[in-house]
Amino acid sequence: MSARSIYDRPLRRPRQEVSLSSFAFLFSEFIQYSQKRIQTIPELEEKLREAGERVGVRVLELCTLRERATKRETRILGILSFITTVVWRSLFGRQAEALEKSAETDDEYMISEREPLFVKSISVPKDLGHLSCASFTAGIVKGVLDHSGFPARVTAHHVPTDAQPLRTTILVKFDEDVMERERSLA
Amino acid sequence: MARNLQRAGELAFAKMEKINSEVLTLTYGSIVAQLVKDYEDVEEVNKQLEMMGYNMGIRLVDEFLAKSHVGSCQSFRDSAEVIAKVGLRMFLGVSATVSQWSQDGNEFSLVMEENPLHEFVDIPEHLRGLYYCNILCGVIRGALEMLNMRVDAQYVRCKLRGDAHSEIRVKLIEILEDQYPEDDE
């Protein structure tokens, strides 16, 4: 008799929900935990990015499977589009607000959010700023990119405006290998 | 006075702002993975998870009281039902059942059939001693302590370890007196 393992459970299930505050409390606690093990804020952001990457890898698998994608993305705009629509909808219930290409360099792209989900719900001490939470999201993006063949440096930046005090940009800088491939495919 | 706790749980859950459970599941998994990386000993990871849960519980209870409109519990039995039907429902979207009360009424089991934190989880052999959801034990301990009940909460059965369901045993150790701040003139 074989035991029913997790591999037997269907992946396509009706969407289940939990309260946002469960996530907020958990995430907040994780930040506290991480803070005890680092010395500087960039190190904290790195820890959060790493945590996000582990999520990104799995989100990539889940979303790809559910989208029944028959071809994998090979172009930059393709994968970024996948992230800002499919992945974002899966995680946040809506598409990313904006995806832009940098005017200055051709290997940089920006994903912008007026009020990122994670940042909105967490209240961290003033000295940590908003970057902590967005770093987690940046990690998720990095996880997806690195594991779909688009290695990149991904960082989060708080870019508040008067109208949008929580505005955040996730900056993606693709590795040279990716750019070379992109150029040859053009 | 019979209260329909099931209904209270549904209502409270309906009012909460919600997210896809998979975000919580994957984030929790990532956190456990980090703890496993940081600590070599599985017992230490269990302890850390419980402590994190405790810190969450002492803060989460305020939101619970504010949004559940459940009113004060008359007894430990009442508290148990409230946790199972309202608390867990409100935050995790699932209910539990309370069973196996001890003779003296100071111990009970919280049985969970479903747990969103368990999705996609497979525990490798070398981490057999891990109580993956130990954070819940801490949350229960922290929340009840804020309500003047010192308890001990432990996992006795876990679905991820091959058991049929997950079960947390909660034991009341003592009722705490209200702490009043010292009079300062």
Between residues 15 and 34 of chain A, which touch chain B (CB distance below 8 Å)?
Answer: 15-23, 25-30, 32-34
Say which of B24, B33, B38 has its CB closest to residue A23: B24
A89 interface with B at CB cutoff 8 Å:
no
What the block records as the tokens of A80 is 């970024």
Q: Does pTM top 0.80 for this prediction?
A: yes
Cα(B138)–Cα(A51) distance, rounded to whole angstroms?
22
Instruction: Tell me if residue B71 falls in helix, strand or coil.
Output: coil
A66 interface with B at CB cutoff 8 Å:
no
- CA dist B33 to A30, A49, B92, B148, B160, Å? 12, 14, 21, 33, 15
Cα(A27)–Cα(A21) distance, rounded to whole angstroms?
9
Per-residue pLDDT of chain A (186 residues; tens, 9 = 90+): 345 567 777 776 777 889 989 999 999 899 889 989 988 888 989 999 999 999 999 999 999 988 887 788 999 999 999 999 999 999 988 999 999 999 999 999 999 988 777 666 666 565 565 566 789 999 999 999 999 999 999 999 888 888 888 888 999 999 999 999 999 998
A69 interface with B at CB cutoff 8 Å:
no
This model of the complex carries an ipTM of: 0.91
Contacts of B17 in chain A (CB under 8 A): 19-21
B113 interface with A at CB cutoff 8 Å:
no
What the block records as the tokens of A66 is 């559910």
Cα(B163)–Cα(B153) distance, rounded to whole angstroms?
18
